[in-house]
Amino acid sequence: MATTLYLIRHGETQNADQRCYKGHIDVPLSAKGENQMKKVADRIRNVPLSAIYTSDLQRARRSAEIVARPHNIKPEIKSPFKERNFGRWEGLTFNECRERFPEEFNAWVKNPVEASPVGGESTLDVKNRLVPALEKLLKKLRGETFSIVAHGGVNRIIICHLLGMPLQNIFRIEQNFGALNIIEIWEDAPVVKLINGICYKTD
């Protein structure tokens, strides 16, 4: 029997149009983000989820609460699933980071796995804190269906890990707001059934 993971990215956040690195900044969902998550909840309301886990940041927690409502489940907070800490880049846009910290930024572009902003985490750092938590859940919930509501960076790392993909390819995986990914794990053979599924109408 397969273990099935419904891996979800949180909905759109307030001021998402600024396209800055939020990382550990604790921003809430926008009204649009709330609606996106209601659509996700409707999409999987008949899925027999046995548990829902979420990052401790409010954009993920609120998203998990919306998803959990039809299942009468209280989401359980797992801090290892929080987004990457971008250090002194947090709150800055892509271009601002490149202009203010050119050497640091170029190092990250060349080596996104091991390089990191000052005071922040590398992709490898994030993998090292979240994979043990993920593997523990997969062992605990073997043969069950459960959900993790997290962040774009975290979801990409989880998908790379389960499929045995090099972390260098992390940004080849898209994760829109409210993205739904469905992964079945048969013994030690994960199979992706859906990736970056969108349950709402896009503009």
How far is Cα 89 from Cα 163, in angstroms, rounded to an integer? 30
Quickly count: other Cβ atoms within 10 Å of residue 81's Cβ: 25
What size, in residues, is the chain?
A: 203
Catalytic residue among 12, 71, 83, 151: 83
How do the residues of the chain divide into helix, strand and coil, expressed in percent and rounded to 5? 45, 20, 35
Q: Which residues pair with 13 in a beta bridge?
A: 29
- 186 CB-contact burial (10 Å; exposed 0-12 / middle 13-18 / buried 19+): exposed
Among 36, 62, 69, which residue's Cα sits nearest to residue 198? 36
Residue 10: active-site member: yes
Q: Are strands 51-54 and 76-77 parallel, antiparallel or unpaired?
A: parallel
Residue 104: active-site member: no
- Annotated active-site positions, please? 10, 83
